[in-house]
Amino acid sequence: MDSLPLVNTADTAVDAPEISLGVQPHNEDFHSGNILQDGITSYISDFGLTGPADKQKSDNRIYGVLPYIAPEVLNGETYTFASDIYSFGVIMAEYSSGNPPFYNRKHDVSLTLDVCNGLRPEFGKRTPEFYKKLAYRCMNANPNQRPSSDELRENLINTNN
């Protein structure tokens, strides 16, 4: 598959940050397998690892699906809303390409190191530049440089009009 229609991606993108990245708990395991669609409405499922934003797991273990985990978390930092924004950027790349991130690689220490050193998932060939630019901002190595959920939502709504 070369790419998925942008309209479906934008519909999911507009709904997902509102659910996952709002004032309530952050997800900590946000990946495409947790997004369910009913027509044009998107839902996020599997909140098994979700917790309050001000509470950190005490066992210092990393949870989640490797390609969606933010580099700072892989480096031992705590999960934050910005970590969920990173995961959302990975989902944007996945929807664009039609392939799971790093589907052609083992999900191992080598991939972990590459992600920490700046490797990001590929986009579909016909992905619009504004979409790639926004996804790359979501996947910025510096969590402080990632858009807020409000900014992300606004950008996606404006590009869909």
Here the CATH number for the domain that contains residue 72 is: 1.10.510.10
Does the CA dihedral 122-124-125-128 come out positive or negative? negative
Q: How many domains does the chain have?
A: 1
26 within domain boundaries: yes
Low-confidence spans in the chain with pLDDT less than 50: 1-26, 49-55
Structure confidence at residue 79 (pLDDT): 84
Question: Rounded to two decimals, what is the model's pTM?
Answer: 0.73
Domain that includes residue 14, residue range:
6-47+64-160
Structure confidence at residue 1 (pLDDT): 35
Structure confidence at residue 12 (pLDDT): 42
53 within domain boundaries: no
59 within domain boundaries: no
56 within domain boundaries: no
